[in-house]
Structure 1
Amino acid sequence: MITNRKFSIATIISTSFLREGKQMEMKKLWLLLLIVGLVTAACGQVSQTQASEFTEDNALTLVEDAFRTQVSLSEKPQTKKQINDKLSQYFTKDLAASFIKENVYEVEGGYITFGSDFAPHYIPFLKYDESTNVRYIDGKWYVWEERKDEEEGPVSQVSGIEAVVLSEEEGTWKVSSITYELPEKIQSQ
């Protein structure tokens, strides 16, 4: 006969073990549940520690790898899914979607980007040397360089800031925006 009583799994297990007189097995089960709980809690702590151990070098490497990924999209046509998969490793969902909308074009054989000095959502050309600055402020990383007016060769640049902002998305640091302004906290340092 089935009754409508609700029992917890632990109650059912403990009752069945106690009926059979297997108190030792019950202790082992509770010990196992305790160990599983502690391991689960420790795993969560490890991922939080890893996120907090993101360094300036990690930020520079992420920006450089993201830039190389953007540039590689002009090498050969591929599917939009392939492009999105590549970008999603380094860019937030919103920025990847904006980049694709603004810079990816359909050609014979798939989709591709075309090179341009002024295409939106591209990571700027950074030198990755002592002129490259990196700071962590208010939960975000900023990687930037200050530009001086230059007119060497075929390319000229206007003075100002070119910055890449990194934010955490689902526990992973990613490029979240490209900007030409820095927060006041960074400017005042």
Structure 2
Amino acid sequence: MSRHLLKFLPAIMILLLITPLSAQAVNDLTSREDVFRFLEESLQAQVSLTEKTRTMEEIDEILDRYFTSEYKSVFLKENIVKEGGKYVTYGSDSAPYYIPFFDFSEVTEVEFFEDEIFVYEYFPEKHEGPVGYESHYEGLLLEKENNNWKVSEYLYSVDPAEMIGAARKKVQTDSEAHDNFVFKEPFFANLEPASYSFYLSIASFSAFLQNVAAMSNHHQEEPSQTFLTSGERQ
């Protein structure tokens, strides 16, 4: 996980005091700058939980702007501590499920898809100080929940080529499935027989009405002929 995060917590706290949290989550992430700002605010939201004890409702309101329900659940399970009937988070060596300390520069990769945004960065190995780690990628998956972009999954030691390749394959598969449903011949092939059957049904019904009318006329003529014949006999 992001063990190197703790080293920068003092700077983050200063930034938190200078920059207030947004009133609501960013719903329209269309550029790298939008994503960077959103993730910086997401990290501020997490770090702000160390300031004082809060009710669970207050904590949920702070995190809900930036994280899906599932992500909030795992983050709180790993980091929340009950104190005096309320809750607070403390820093630790592991700091699980905190936003990775991205550089937010050209080395931070952002991949946009229709329903997903991948953010990842390569972290070279580090063995100095109290916290060390091997070279690895860390990343985040952003998805929409109730039409709002939110952090949905933490990606540790990921393979970017495999991750992005799977996402692109999914987009291609969904697109082909849509094309097959809307544009392929089998979809339209059923329309002509149905229309033709409807035409035959109308034609048959019309013929039936004509037969009924003819039979009705025939029965109306018979009494008249019988009356004339009886008159002649008289």
Smaller-chain TM-score bracket: 0.5 to 0.7
- TM-score for the superposition, normalised by structure 2: 0.54
**How big is the shift at 1:138?**
5.8
Describe how 1:14-163 pairs up with structure 2 within 5 A: 51=28, 54-108=30-84, 110-137=86-113, 139-163=115-139
1:22-65 CA-to-partner distances (Å, cap 9, x unmatched) read: xxxxxxxxxxxxxxxxxxxxxxxxxxxx75x6222211111111
Query: Which residues of structure 2 form unaligned runs of 5+?
Result: 1-26, 169-234
CA distance in 2, matches of 1:59, 1:134: 8
Counterpart AA for 2:164: I
CA RMSD of aligned residues (A): 2.3
**How big is the shift at 1:109?**
5.6
Describe how 1:156-171 pairs up with structure 2 within 5 A: 156-171=132-147
1:54-113 CA-to-partner distances (Å, cap 9, x unmatched) read: 222211111111111111111111111111100000001111122122211101262001
Percent identical among aligned pairs is: 35
CA distance in 1, matches of 2:135, 2:78: 25
Is the partner of 2:33 in helix, strand or coil?
helix
Alpha-carbon contact 1:77-1:107 (below 8 Å) kept: yes
1:174 aligns with 2:150: yes
Is the partner of 1:130 in helix, strand or coil?
coil
**How big is the shift at 1:141?**
0.7
Is the partner of 1:73 in helix, strand or coil?
helix
Alpha-carbon contact 1:63-1:164 (below 8 Å) kept: no
Q: Which has the larger radius of gyration?
A: 2
Name the structure with the higher helix share. Answer: 2
Counterpart AA for 2:53: P
The 1:185/1:177 distance shift into structure 2, 3 A limit, reads closer
- TM-score for the superposition, normalised by structure 1: 0.66
**How big is the shift at 1:155?**
2.6
Aligned length: 139
1:186 aligns with 2:186: no
Is the partner of 2:149 in helix, strand or coil?
strand
Is the partner of 1:91 in helix, strand or coil?
coil
- Regions of 4+ moved over 4 Å: none
Counterpart AA for 2:100: P
1:127-169 CA-to-partner distances (Å, cap 9, x unmatched) read: 2122211111462111111011112333323211100111011
The residue number in structure 2 matching 1:22 is none
1:162-183 CA-to-partner distances (Å, cap 9, x unmatched) read: 0011101111100001112246
Counterpart AA for 1:179: L
